[in-house]
Amino acid sequence: MRKRELKNVEWSLLIIAIILSIIGLIALFSATQESGYQDFYKQCIWLGVSLVIMIIVMLVDYETIVKLSPIFYGGFIILLIAVLFTSPINGATSWFDIGAFSFQPGEFAKVFVILFLAYTISKIQSRNKSEINRPTKLLIIGAVLLVPVILIIKQPDYGTAAAYIMATIFMLITAGIDKKYIIGSILLVVILVPVMYNFILPEHAKERIDIFLNPESDPRGSGYNIIQSKLAIGAGGLTGMGLLKGNQTQLGFLYPKTTDFIFSVIGEEMGFIVACALIIMYVLLITKCLYVAKTAKDETGKLIASGITGVFLFHMLENIGMVMGLLPITGVPLLFVSYGGSSLITSFICIGLLLNISSKRQKTIFIAN
């Protein structure tokens, strides 16, 4: 990478990602003391690996990576099919077990679906930007999205599938999709939601929605986790109960506290101030992602940055919303903060792509008269 490109890099993205990761490590340290800090040590290793992979992604021209995206996309489709034949973990076939570690192809596939969508949309718009609004072209884009989404729903992992859809929506808006398609999609969702709830969704998915609406209906069963989460966040007050001192966290009432409910640990032990600071950091991260999309040198860069923005926004809203009882529980991790190697590496790959895109932009030069 040339000196001029290094000056263009939006380094604030990396700074924010590292701060979020450090907050996550502090929370994990407290949440894993009864298990001998095993997950904490693993996450430290994953953070080191993630930073190395991020640097590699940053240094390889993103246009080259996009050209290879059809191969990666096809490879991960095969992995998403293969993972369906693994033994279920917590009712889901989402992981390959590799010794002491696990590999979640659905997390990594998010990056390559975004890259392949950017590749596909760029090809469609290569001659005329309005081509994106032709129904046949939208069907092609829909097919690229639906194949991995259907496979992930089969696991089942509705949260990750929703992240793919959010990324695609952001990319289509960036590509200039006609408002009539957006309005039509919103109306279709409004119509289909009650139909899906009554006739399509499996019982466990319906149960999650019912519990979201009324967690007190089953306080010792399905509603237990969300009730304990809200108790933990409420107990933290302004400054928190202190690291290693949270009642819900340390006495085992909060589960799973290292992944889905890590924000509850932060709220209980670090308090409202740190929890709010965390949300502000995510807002800054998303704002910076949008800025990279706006200033990217080409349409492909804009599309990739927009897709990543959609993923980051969805994970923030869904995870924090679900642990506070504002959204149904879907098992979506809080990126950079929750425990998980697949999630952390994927998140830093996204940061590497954003740094890569920002390095190629042309900054405006103002000349005084």
Mean pLDDT of 319-333: 91
Percent of the chain with pLDDT over 70: 97
Q: Which two tokens stand for residue 117?
A: 């969508």
pLDDT, tens digit, 9 for 90 and up, residues 234-274: 999 999 999 999 999 999 899 899 999 999 999 999 999 99
Helices 299-323 and 341-359, axial angle in degrees (round to 10): 140
Q: What is the mean pLDDT of the chain?
A: 91
Mean pLDDT of 38-59: 95
- H or E segment to which residue 200 belongs: none
Assess whether pLDDT exceeds 70 at residue 369. no
**Residues 245/29, Cβ–Cβ less than 8 Å:** no
Distance CA 93, CA 309 (A): 27
The predicted structure's pLDDT at residue 365: 39
Mean pLDDT of 331-354: 95
The predicted structure's pLDDT at residue 368: 40
Distance CA 267, CA 239 (A): 9
What's the length of the chain? 369
Q: Which two tokens stand for residue 43?
A: 């996450």
154: three-class secondary structure by DSSP: coil
Distance CA 358, CA 5 (A): 8
Distance CA 314, CA 167 (A): 8
**What ranges make up the beta strands (E) of the chain?**
96-98, 101-103
Distance CA 216, CA 136 (A): 48
Mean pLDDT of 78-99: 87
Residues 6+ positions from 57 with CB-CB distance below 8 Å: 65, 349, 352, 353, 356
Q: Identify the band that residue 366 occupies on the pLDDT scale cut at 50, 70 and 90.
A: very low
The predicted structure's pLDDT at residue 362: 66
Helices 299-323 and 158-175, axial angle in degrees (round to 10): 140
Distance CA 137, CA 175 (A): 12
